[in-house]
């Protein structure tokens, strides 16, 4: 059994050696070497938004840094709100911990008796944990939606400039004037 477990662990380690980071979805291109065509009037912030992807690494960063996905999507106001809400929740958890530690030195928060003060503390404790988890989930889901929405707006804006619509006939069959040299050897 130990040999099978060790073999499985070794195979899982070897399968992700070529990974750029911890990720479920494998990328088929390398962003460091693939240079896309950039429009002349595209700003750096628009180009930066187009090259952003939400990866597993970003989701792990969002556990530690509140509002990370929103900051990545250049939604600083939402990111600041999430950071403030989650920071306040952490402070509330710390205050409950210190209050319970001073008032009831031998009791854990999970095992409080059911009198009014202790019940209120327990409800606040579980409520703040719920707020922390919900801000994390909101950061990932809403941040991804905002990022993809901004990317789609940029793609739409520049796709109109790249290929203007021609009404009445198929633009793929339209002849284009060109100048070229043909060399035969």
User: According to the model, what pLDDT value does residue 70 have?
Assistant: 92
Q: How far apart are CA 49 and CA 105, in angstroms?
A: 51
Whether residue 104 is contained in a domain is answered as: yes
Q: What is the 3-state secondary structure (H, E, C) of 86-139?
A: HHHHHHHHHHHHHHHHHHCCCCCHHHCCCCHHHHHHHHHHHHHHHHHHHHHHHH
Whether residue 44 is contained in a domain is answered as: no
Q: Which domain holds residue 149?
A: 55-160
Domain count, the chain: 1
Whether residue 119 is contained in a domain is answered as: yes
Question: Which residue matches tokens 């130990």?
Answer: 2
pLDDT in tens, 55-78: 888 888 888 899 999 999 989 999
Write the DSSP symbol of residue 24: S
Q: Looking at per-residue confidence, does 85 or 179 come out higher?
A: 85
For the ranges 1-10, 40-49, 87-96, 108-117, which has the lowest average pLDDT? 108-117
Whether residue 171 is contained in a domain is answered as: no
Give the number of other CB atoms < 10 A from CB of residue 46: 20
Q: What pTM, to 2 d.p., does this model score?
A: 0.64
Whether residue 85 is contained in a domain is answered as: yes
Whether residue 126 is contained in a domain is answered as: yes
Q: Looking at per-residue confidence, does 45 or 14 come out higher?
A: 45
Say which residues have a Cβ less than 8 Å from residue 125's Cβ, sequence separation at least 6: 93, 96, 109
Q: Which two tokens stand for residue 14?
A: 């070897």
Whether residue 82 is contained in a domain is answered as: yes
In percent, the amount of the chain with pLDDT more than 70 equals 65
Question: Which residue matches tokens 């499985």?
Answer: 8
Whether residue 108 is contained in a domain is answered as: yes
């Amino acid at each position: 059994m130990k040999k099978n477990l060790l073999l499985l662990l070794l195979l899982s380690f070897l399968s992700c050696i070529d990974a750029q980071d911890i990720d479920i979805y494998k990328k088929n291109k390398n962003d460091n070497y693939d240079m896309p065509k950039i429009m002349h009037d595209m700003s750096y912030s628009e180009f930066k938004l187009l090259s952003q992807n939400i990866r597993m690494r970003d989701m792990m960063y969002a556990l530690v840094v509140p509002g990370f996905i929103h900051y990545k999507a250049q939604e600083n106001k939402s990111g600041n709100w999430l950071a403030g809400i989650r920071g306040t929740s952490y402070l509330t958890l710390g205050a409950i911990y210190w209050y319970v530690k001073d008032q009831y030195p031998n009791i854990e928060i999970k095992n409080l008796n059911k009198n009014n003060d202790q019940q209120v503390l327990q409800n606040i404790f579980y409520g703040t944990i719920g707020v922390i988890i919900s801000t994390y989930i909101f950061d990932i889901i809403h941040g991804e939606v905002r990022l993809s929405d901004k990317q789609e707006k940029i793609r739409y804006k520049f796709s109109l400039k790249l290929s203007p619509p021609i009404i009445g006939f198929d633009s793929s069959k339209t002849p284009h004037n060109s100048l070229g040299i043909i060399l035969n050897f």
